[in-house]
Amino acid sequence: MSKVISGFSKLSKQEKMDWLAENYFNNEEAVVKTIQQYWNSDEQLQQLHDDFIENTLTNFYLPFGVAPNFLINKETYVVPMVTEESSVVAAASLVAKFWSTRGGFKTTVLGTTKIGQVHFMYAGASDDLIAYFNTKKSDLYAATASITQNMEKRGGGILEIELVDKTDKLEHYYQLHITFETKDSMGANFINSCLEAVANNFRNEQIEIVMSILSNYVPNCLVRAEVSCPIADLGGDDPYKFADKFYQAVKIASIEPYRAVTHNKGIMNGIDAVVLATGNDFRAVEAGAHAYASKEGQYKSLSFCEIDNGIFKFWLDVPLALGTVGGLTSLHPMAKLSLEMLQNPSAKRLMEIIAAAGLAQNFAALRALTTKGIQHGHMKMHLQNILNQLGANALQKEKITNYFKGKTVSHSGVVAKFEELK
């Protein structure tokens, strides 16, 4: 029996649920109950969430936590984080406090420009195309005037339009490579609207427009976050040995792609959590960051370490295309609350805050890896998840948590203790 359906989007929410439960689940009543229990009791708020995407049935919750004590450029922040992974928020909080007494995080925005491209095919003489482009260039700017006027008032707009010959890679392939400044807006809709206007003005009988789209590779929308202190101030039993192992761990991630991917995933644990909390596009940020990590032809660490004259320095360079106005940042109540928590930052300031969160997470992971091992802290934080999976009651949770204080947590160990208590 075919389960293909026409007109699904036109069904009411209840009809969508009923069809789904009837066709893909055994216990229809339980499915509908699960879906409905995540509805917001405020109908207006629920409708707002329903309208974010298509065919909405319910809400999918993720924990919203905060990491206090982030000292960034001499200002203290409480950083909102949305993530499902245990130990991420705890690690960021711990490291933020650690560095708050050692000068904090120093951040610098190295650039804010973004790229969009009109991809097209042209089989004629390249000199003729160059001449055509040069005569049309001013018209291309004019074609976007109605779109760019408000952005230009805020100091943004189109910075440059270049003709790029890519025929050595693909026969007849050229592009218009356009540089944008979008200020406090992430700018995806703005950039794409400009590109389509440019393409419509540029096309002729010999030029076949293939597509017009922004790029999520933003190597010139870049921010640096760093921490530094005398090695002796790193603390621990042997800070010099720790600094040396930490340095080696970062160097390994710079030459070994298998390690670099996991190394950078740890950075993105911190970055994505704040990107999500502020209503920004974490998929675009992820794609851009990993492309940047491969910019030299091999995937490498996004962070760096240096030890010089007794000073330990650790820093991160990462591209971040973010917005603090428009899109979900202006619609989602929790995204708005997150931005208010961060003192309503500009897009530049948000880049700095998020880069600091990524560096904090990376420092936490590397410190754990080079000392006690990553699982010691992670499994300790994961303990409550295991207990919830087992259905432990409050008294059992308390007894098992106390039992594992000072011990390494393992899933099998928790299960054994739970069965013993039962």
CA-atom Rg of the chain in angstroms: 26
Q: What is the DSSP letter of 325?
A: B
Pick the catalytic residue: 16, 114, 263, 378? 378
Q: Tokens in use for 73?
A: 């450029």
H helix or E strand, kind and range, residue 422:
none
Contact status, residue 114 vs residue 182, Cβ threshold 8 Å: yes
Alpha carbons 338 and 331: distance in angstroms, whole number: 12
Q: Tokens in use for 278?
A: 């502020």
- If you count them, how many residues does the chain have? 422
Q: How are beta strands 114-122 and 207-214 bridged, if at all?
A: antiparallel
Backbone phi, psi, residue 297, to 5°: 100, -10
Q: How are beta strands 106-109 and 157-165 bridged, if at all?
A: unpaired
Q: How far is CA 400 from the centre of its chain?
A: 35
Pick the catalytic residue: 18, 28, 49, 85? 85
Question: How many secondary structure helices (H) and strands (E) does the chain include?
Answer: 15, 10
Looking at 256-332, list the stretches that DSSP marks H as alpha helix, in order from N- to C-terminal side: 257-277, 282-293
Pick the catalytic residue: 272, 281, 317, 352? 281
Q: How far is CA 393 from the centre of its chain?
A: 36
Contact status, residue 345 vs residue 320, Cβ threshold 8 Å: no
Active site residue 407: no
Pick the catalytic residue: 137, 177, 245, 265? 265
Contact status, residue 84 vs residue 352, Cβ threshold 8 Å: no
Active site residue 281: yes
Any idea which residues carry the catalytic annotation? 85, 265, 281, 378
